[in-house]
Homo-oligomer: A and B are copies of this chain.
Amino acid sequence: MSLIVQKFGGSSVANAERVFNVADIVTKTYAKGNDVVVVVSAQGDTTDDLIEKAKEINPDASKREMDMLLSSGEQISASLLAMAIEKLGYPVISLLGWQAGFQTTSAYGSARIKRVLPERIKKEIDKHRIVVVTGFQGVNRYDDMTTLGRGGSDTSAVAIAAVMHADLCQIYTDVEGVYTADPRKVPNAKKLSVISYDEMLELATLGAQVLNNRSVEMAKKYNIELEVLSSLTRVPGTIVKEATKMEKMLISGVAKDENVSRISIIGVPDRPGFAFRLFSKLAAKNINVDIILQSVGRNGTKDISFTISSDNLKEAMEILQSYVESTGANYLDYNDNIAKVSVVGAGMESHPGIASDMFEALFEANINIHMISTSEIKISVLIDREDADKAVSAIHNKFFDVE
C-alpha cells in the first residue's frame, strides 16, 4: 500500500463533468489499496472572476483582503470534488489550507510555506478517508489567510508529499508530460519518460510552464518523486526524480523564453565596485538578472550587458538612467526584441560537443547569436525574437531527429 498525493489544476475541475473525471481518477487510485491525498486548485476561471469582482470595487485593495477573497476559490472546488467522491460511494473529507496545517510566511499574495503540520491529514488517512486539500493557500502567524501565488498548488502538493513521506506525487495538468520541445511548435517533439530535478528546473525557468519552479525545488530537497501527467488522457506521464537514479540523458529538451530583454551599458570606466552597485540597485527592486556578459572596451573602459524579464524592462531602465549618467559611462542601451533558446541535459557535462552542435544548428539555420551563457546542464543563446521558433526546431532536429 502506497501513499499517493494527486494535484489537479483549475482546468481539471472546471465544470461538473471534469470534477467527476477527477473523482474517477482519485477513487480508482484509492480502490487499488492506496492512501490518497488530493490537492485541488480553484475551478477554471474562478480566480480571475474573483479578481475582476475585486477590481470593480477597489483596484488597489490590500493584498491581505485579496487573499481572503481568493482563498474562497479552492474552498468551492475542494468541497465540490468531495461531493463527487461521496457520490461515487467513497469515504472522503475536504480540508482548507489552515485545517490541513499549512503555515506560511506573511507575504500576502506570494506567501511561502513555512511548515505543514500533518496531524489532521494523518487522522483522516487513519480513518481510511480520501483527503481533499485546498491548494494555493495557508495561514500566517496571525491566523490570517494567505495565498502562495500563481502555481502555488503544485508547491502545496509537494509539501504534503514531503511531510507525509508520500511514495509519489502526481501533478495532473492539461499536457501529457514534459516534452523535448513545445509540441505545439515542434511536431516531432517527444515526451520524456523521465527527467531529473535539475533539468526540470532549467526547463521551467526557460518557459516550459509545466511545473511551478518552487515545487520542483522542494521535491528535489525532500527527494519526492513527481509525475507530470494529463487528467484527460489516462496515459503515463513524465517522472521527475534524482539524476543519480537514472541513466543521464544527453539532452532532455530544447526550450525558449521570449519574455526577455537585454540591457547594455557601454563604456563604463574600469573601476572596482561598479557591477556590485549596479546589480544591487536592481535587486533592491526585486528585479532578477539572468545572463551577464562583461567585455573589456577601449581606453580603460568596459561594456556590461545583461538580460532581465521584459516585464521589468521599464522599471529597470528608470532605475539605471540616472545612475549610469553619474558614473560617466558612455551610454545605456536596450533590446526588447530578443529571445533566449536553451538546451538542457544532465549528461552534457561529460559531452563537450553539445555546444558546438548547437551553434552549428543555428549557423545552418542562418541565425545570429548575440550572447552565450552556459551552466553544467544548460547552454543558452540570445537571438532575435523572430528567429526563436526556427531556432528551437533547428536545435531539436539536430539532437533528436536521429532516424
Which A residues contact B (CB, under 8 angstroms)?
16, 19-20, 50, 53-54, 56-58, 60-62, 64-66, 68-69, 71-72, 75-76, 78-80, 82-84, 86-87, 93-94, 96, 99, 120, 143-145
Contacts and interface: CB of A to CB of B under 8 A. Distances in A.
Nearest to A61: B83
Contacts of A120: 143
B65 A79 contact: yes
Contacts of A60: 86-87
Query: Chain B CB within 10 Å — which of A50, A61, A72, A120 has the most?
Result: A72
14 contacts: A54-B80, A58-B84, A58-B87, A61-B87, A64-B93, A65-B79, A65-B83, A65-B94, A68-B79, A69-B79, A69-B80, A69-B83, A72-B79, A99-B144
Nearest to A82: B65
A68 B78 contact: yes
B76 A69 contact: yes
A86 B58 contact: yes
A104 to B, nearest CB: 15
Given A16-B56, A57-B19, A62-B86, A75 B71 contact: yes
Contacts of A62: 83, 86
Contacts of A75: 68-69, 71-72, 75
Nearest to A88: B58
A84 to B, nearest CB: 5
B57 A83 contact: yes
A82 B68 contact: yes
A76 B99 contact: no
A64 B57 CA distance: 32
Given A62-B86, A66-B79, 15 more contacts: A16-B53, A54-B79, A54-B80, A57-B84, A57-B87, A58-B84, A58-B86, A60-B87, A64-B93, A68-B79, A69-B75, A69-B80, A72-B75, A72-B76, A96-B145
Contacts of A99: 143-144
A87 B65 CA distance: 12
Contacts of A78: 68
A51 to B, nearest CB: 11
Contacts of A53: 16, 76, 80
A86 B59 CA distance: 11
